[in-house]
Amino acid sequence: MCLFAGIGETEANNTMTTYGYACSTSEADSMQALGIPTKNIFIEKQADMDFDRPVYHSLLKKLEPNDLIYIKSLNALGRNQKEIQQQWRILTKEYAVDIAVLDQPLVDTRQHKELLGAN
């Protein structure tokens, strides 16, 4: 079971939303500890091997440039290295969002823009 969570923050004329994506209840608890309210947690009812996750795709539809996504680990983005890299590029390049990885604090595109990757 994977979970999504989101809270909004308004800055001037610009809205930025912070999301959390977790694949277990304990990970969801860590997202709540970041201040994401329970009412904004979306449960992924299936975790297919081919990354066909309806809630993930719903999240993609909500993303705006400069939004932030917290994930517990890189494995939350895919089942293998290729899939993880593909989703990372989609999120950081196509959607222009930041990603922070909780179990690897140095993997945070807000602090390390070089993590946005090439092409």
What pairs with residue 84 in β-bridges?
A: none
pTM of the complete model: 0.79
CA–CA separation, 86 and 64 (whole Å) = 19
Total number of domains constituting the chain: 1
Q: How far is CA 116 from CA 1, 38, 47, 78, 98, in A?
A: 27, 29, 26, 17, 8
> Which domain range does residue 36 map to?
2-116
Q: Domain containing 31 — which CATH number?
A: 3.40.50.1390
Contact between residue 110 and residue 100 where contact means Cβ atoms under 8 Å apart: yes
- Going residue by residue through the chain (119 aa), what tens digit of pLDDT does each one get? 455 555 554 444 467 888 888 777 778 788 889 887 676 666 676 665 566 777 788 888 888 999 988 888 898 888 899 999 999 999 999 999 999 998 998 899 988 777 666 44
